[in-house]
């Protein structure tokens, strides 16, 4: 047999084998049902977890993955059953049983850096301040997947939280607390600012209070450490909440206290803020929890303007910037600031600064004026995604 004949023979066998592989059925016929359920129950992976897939096994399929949404998993199983599709349910519902009941936690340091993946080199997704209660879903190594009160999912290292079971979190929430009001400060080992520092502390931190000595609150950290906080830098949480009267002026006053704070991607504290972290912090210090990202904040509140008709705005309105929708591309919100009157808005861009929409002003911001999309009003609005602390007991029952 000549070389040419051998080559032709081998080629034919190879072609037939390749043809067999192409015809093999490896597809999942109900992938669309999985996608439909995910789009309905978990369209935003930042706040909902539904990582489910199907793997073929003989004449049936194995559902694998994890979710923190039991109703979504149930909806998928009902769809498959209705379509007479045999499957084995191996989806893990979170919280993980490996947590042994410790499915709650409280932030235990001044500002916890929350990551997009369970490692310190991962993107800083967001932050949470001391005293913030969180849900805990699972553990990987020394990291925990948690969900903050604004529903944001992220990872925190073990040093950032104090794990609690259902009884411990109830006891913590029922305790008397203070809220720290100064932009930045410290807690001390004694009722004396010359004593040993226990930790730093930032505005919005919440701590259990166990007494008062002279001009200091005695406080307890979630992990049991005790310290002292100057009474002129903090307030009883119940008093703060009861006297809250969030107004356009109080929002502006809070925002200006953060002037010059550096820009930090993922930052939501007075140590550093990104654009949406800044607006989120302003509202939190005035008793409201709003969504984390600008692309989420834009879907809350009352529409006010989309045509640069700035005279319709009042102080406290949020301005959104980005790329307008076209025939081939969707709108993309990438920046947010807050209106403070006099044709000006305050925002975190390199640092917290004030810019103007007035072309004749020395702080005119042509870049953001050109990419302006719309403005929304969230002050006094009540809807999903906007949490009024006076009505929702996040920190204290």
State yes or no: is 335 an active-site residue: yes
97 neighbors 131 (Cβ within 8 angstroms)? no
What is the residue-wise DSSP string for 209-263?
Answer: EEEEETTEEEEE-TTS-EEEEEGGGEEEHHHHHHT----HHHHHHHHHTTTTPBB
DSSP class of residue 292 equals S
Question: With the C-alpha atoms ordered 275, 279, 284, 285, is the resulting torsion angle positive or negative?
Answer: positive
> Which residues have C-beta within 8 Å of that of residue 93, sequence separation ≥ 6?
66, 67, 68, 70, 73
41 by Cβ neighbours in 10 Å (0-12 / 13-18 / 19+) ranks as: middle
* CA-wise closest residue to 300 among 375, 386, 380: 386
State yes or no: is 347 an active-site residue: yes
Distance CA 359, CA 16 (A): 71
> Which residues have C-beta within 8 Å of that of residue 97, sequence separation ≥ 6?
none
> Which residues have C-beta within 8 Å of that of residue 84, sequence separation ≥ 6?
none
Q: Which of 5, 120, 243, 275 is catalytic?
A: 275
- Catalytic amino acids? 275, 335, 347
């Amino acid at each position: 047999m000549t070389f040419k004949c051998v080559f032709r023979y081998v080629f034919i066998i190879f072609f037939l084998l390749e043809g067999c592989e192409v015809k093999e059925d490896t597809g999942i016929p109900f992938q669309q049902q999985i996608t439909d359920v995910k789009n309905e129950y978990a369209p935003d992976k930042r706040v909902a977890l539904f990582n489910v897939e199907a793997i073929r096994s003989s004449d049936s399929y194995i559902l694998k993955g994890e979710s923190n949404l039991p109703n979504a998993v149930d909806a998928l199983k009902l769809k498959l059953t209705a379509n007479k599709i045999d499957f084995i349910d191996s989806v893990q519902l979170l919280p993980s049983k490996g947590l042994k009941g410790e499915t709650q936690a409280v932030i235990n340091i001044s500002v916890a850096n929350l990551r997009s993946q369970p490692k310190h080199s991962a993107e800083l997704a967001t932050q949470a301040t001391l005293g913030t209660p969180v849900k805990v879903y699972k553990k990987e190594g020394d990291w925990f997947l948690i969900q903050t009160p604004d529903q944001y999912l992220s990872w925190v290292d073990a040093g950032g939280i104090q794990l609690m079971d259902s009884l411990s979190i109830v006891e913590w929430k029922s305790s008397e607390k203070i809220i720290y009001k100064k932009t930045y400060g410290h807690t001390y080992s004694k009722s004396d600012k010359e004593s040993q520092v226990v930790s730093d502390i930032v505005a919005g931190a919440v701590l259990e209070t166990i007494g008062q000595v002279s001009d200091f609150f005695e406080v307890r950290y979630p992990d049991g450490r005790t310290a002292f906080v100057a009474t002129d830098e903090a307030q009883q949480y119940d008093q703060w909440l009861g006297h809250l009267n969030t107004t356009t002026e109080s929002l502006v006053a809070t925002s200006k206290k953060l002037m010059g704070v550096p820009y930090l991607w993922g930052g939501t504290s007075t140590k550093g803020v990104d654009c949406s972290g800044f607006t989120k912090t302003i509202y939190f210090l005035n008793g409201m929890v709003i969504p984390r990202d600008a692309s989420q904040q834009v879907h809350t509140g009352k529409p006010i303007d989309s045509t640069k008709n700035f005279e319709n705005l009042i102080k406290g309105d949020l301005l959104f910037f980005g790329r307008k929708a076209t025939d081939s591309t969707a709108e993309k919100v990438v920046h947010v600031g807050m209106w403070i009157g006099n044709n000006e808005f305050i925002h975190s861009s390199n640092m917290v600064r004030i810019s103007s929409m007035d072309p004749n002003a020395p702080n005119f911001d042509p870049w953001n004026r050109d990419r302006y999309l719309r403005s929304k009003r969230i002050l006094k609005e009540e809807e999903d995604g906007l949490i009024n602390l006076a009505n929702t007991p996040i920190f204290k029952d």
